[in-house]
């Protein structure tokens, strides 16, 4: 059976959107749980960051686990194991207990993320790969966008813990979908006629170190730039003394632009190559950061935020597609775990870089430093993205 975007819907996109809905429901309530346990505003912010720490810690072990038990079983087990982690959040009696549980949620989420990317990479042919992975990214973004609204509805009945219960139910539903619906056939021979031998994680990383330290650096810069936009827009909004509701509306407009572009970006990548999307998208994100100091009104900030949404939307699925393109047939899951580590390190580094610059300079300097990161991302991606294979 030929693989199509439609055939991936029930077995890939639907469970991914459901699981991401749960993740989106949890994101806003960690701070509330922390402050309810007596955490300061700074400590509560650290608690939110522990989700990312868990993802970073879990990325490489996730690849090793997936190589051993398979992609779909890994997704099912990660959906099951996130439930006790979420129960730990619900019943935490101290900030330390909450922090441990939140980090566990992130760690299990890393297994889910690497497994779904590995699975799509295995079942989808190269000619459809970018569209498949960008649609996967789009499904996850839609779920994360809807999640806070579902969580808010649950919290009106269950209190703050409602967000955690939404994630637990969403994970259970996602696992049920994976178990009940048959997966697509996976051909691991890649035309060689033989299944590749299992290799160790350290050996895979060593053999692919040249790619990880070149194109992987580009992915790290992409992650930093993407994460920075989530920080600089509210900071600049506060600098302009905007009402929180106005700032939320600006975020909504940016997110709407972002979500509209995931499939077109994948189609362009499949037709004309990854560089045609990667370079312009990072240029637009960097340009938007450079223009932010000129935004002195609500309209100006909204325009810059929408430009950021345009750049981010164009890059939907880019990191996963590049990882799939350069991943080896033997040790693919382990490689993609290391690849995710590069992206997650960048995601964590972006806000930290802004915070570091703010300790010695102004917000304008911090924003312009991220524009410099955008320029570096453009240069690295242009230099190291491989050209598409030629037919024949």
- Write out pLDDT tens, residues 198-234: 678 899 999 999 999 999 999 999 999 998 887 888 8
Region 73-102: mean pLDDT is: 93
Q: How far is CA 274 from CA 124, 316, 384, in A?
A: 16, 11, 11
- pLDDT, position 301: 93
* Six-digit token string for 299: 């309209």
Q: Which fold has domain 201-384?
A: Growth Hormone; Chain: A; (1.20.1250)
The alpha carbon dihedral of 109, 113, 118, 120 has a sign of: positive
Region 11-17: mean pLDDT is: 92
- pLDDT, position 193: 45
Region 46-65: mean pLDDT is: 89
Residue 388: pLDDT over 50: yes
Place of tokens 């491989």: 386
pLDDT band at 184 (very low <50, low <70, confident <90, very high): low
pLDDT band at 108 (very low <50, low <70, confident <90, very high): very high
* Six-digit token string for 5: 């975007």
- With a pLDDT cut of 90, the percent of the chain lying above it is 57
- With a pLDDT cut of 70, the percent of the chain lying above it is 94
- pLDDT, position 109: 92
- pLDDT, position 235: 84
- pLDDT, position 181: 83
Query: Does domain 5-180 bear CATH number 1.20.1250.20?
Result: yes
Residues in the chain: 392
- pLDDT, position 186: 64
Lowest mean pLDDT among 35-44, 87-96, 338-347: 35-44
**5-180 and 201-384 share one fold:** yes
Domain chopping of the chain, boundaries: 5-180, 201-384
Region 250-275: mean pLDDT is: 89
The torsion of the CA quartet 124, 276, 378, 118, rounded to 10 degrees, works out to: 0
Region 73-89: mean pLDDT is: 93
Q: How far is CA 37 from CA 31, 51, 89, 209, in A?
A: 10, 18, 11, 43
Region 129-148: mean pLDDT is: 90
Compute φ and ψ for 388, nearest 5 degrees. -65, 150
Residue 192: pLDDT over 50: no
Residue 183: pLDDT over 80: no
- pLDDT, position 185: 62
* Six-digit token string for 332: 């693919």
The CB-side HSE value for 177 (13 A sphere, CA atoms) comes to: 20
Residue 266: pLDDT over 80: yes
Region 226-250: mean pLDDT is: 83
Q: What is the pLDDT of residues 313-330, one digit of tens each?
A: 999 999 999 999 999 988
Mean pLDDT score of the chain: 88
pLDDT band at 41 (very low <50, low <70, confident <90, very high): low
- pLDDT, position 337: 95
pLDDT band at 88 (very low <50, low <70, confident <90, very high): very high
Question: In whole angstroms, what is the distance from residue 74 CA to residue 228 CA?
Answer: 31
Residue 28: pLDDT over 80: no
Lowest mean pLDDT among 5-9, 234-238, 347-351, 388-392: 388-392
Q: What is the pLDDT of residues 139-182, one digit of tens each?
A: 988 888 888 888 888 988 888 899 999 999 999 999 999 999 87
């Amino acid at each position: 059976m030929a693989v199509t975007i439609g055939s991936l819907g029930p077995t890939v996109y639907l469970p991914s959107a459901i699981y991401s809905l749960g993740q989106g429901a949890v994101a806003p309530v960690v701070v509330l749980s922390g402050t309810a346990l007596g955490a300061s505003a700074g400590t509560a912010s650290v608690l939110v960051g522990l989700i990312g720490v868990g993802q970073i810690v879990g990325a490489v072990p996730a690849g090793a686990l997936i190589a051993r038990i398979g992609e779909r079983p890994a997704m099912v087990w990660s959906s099951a194991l996130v439930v006790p982690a979420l129960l730990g959040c619900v019943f935490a009696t101290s900030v330390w207990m909450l922090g441990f549980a939140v980090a566990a949620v992130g760690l299990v989420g890393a297994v889910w993320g690497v497994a779904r990317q590995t699975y799509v990479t295995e079942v989808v042919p190269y000619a459809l790969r970018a569209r498949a992975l960008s649609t996967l990214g789009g499904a996850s973004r839609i779920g994360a966008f809807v999640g806070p609204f579902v969580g808010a509805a649950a919290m009106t009945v269950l209190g703050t813990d409602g967000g955690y219960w939404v994630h637990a139910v969403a994970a259970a539903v996602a696992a049920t979908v994976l178990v009940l619906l048959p997966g697509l056939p996976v051909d691991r021979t890649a035309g060689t006629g033989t299944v590749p031998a299992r290799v160790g994680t350290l050996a895979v990383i060593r053999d692919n170190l040249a790619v990880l330290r070149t194109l992987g650096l580009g992915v790290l810069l992409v992650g930093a730039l993407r994460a920075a936009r989530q920080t600089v827009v509210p900071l600049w909004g506060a600098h302009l003394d905007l009402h929180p509701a106005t700032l939320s509306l600006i975020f909504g407009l940016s997110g709407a632009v972002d979500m509209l572009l995931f499939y077109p970006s994948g189609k362009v990548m499949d037709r004309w190559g990854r560089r045609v999307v990667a370079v312009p998208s990072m240029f637009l994100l960097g340009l938007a950061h450079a223009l932010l100091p000129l935004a002195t009104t609500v309209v100006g900030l909204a325009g810059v935020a929408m430009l950021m949404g345009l750049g981010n939307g164009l890059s939907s699925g880019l990191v996963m597609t590049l990882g799939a393109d350069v991943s080896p047939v033997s040790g693919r899951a382990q490689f993609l775990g290391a690849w995710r580590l590069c992206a997650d390190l960048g995601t964590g580094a972006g806000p930290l870089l802004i915070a570091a610059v703010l300790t010695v300079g102004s917000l304008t300097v911090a924003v312009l430093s991220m524009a410099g990161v955008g320029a570096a991302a453009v240069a690295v991606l242009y230099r190291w993205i491989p050209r598409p294979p030629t037919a024949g």
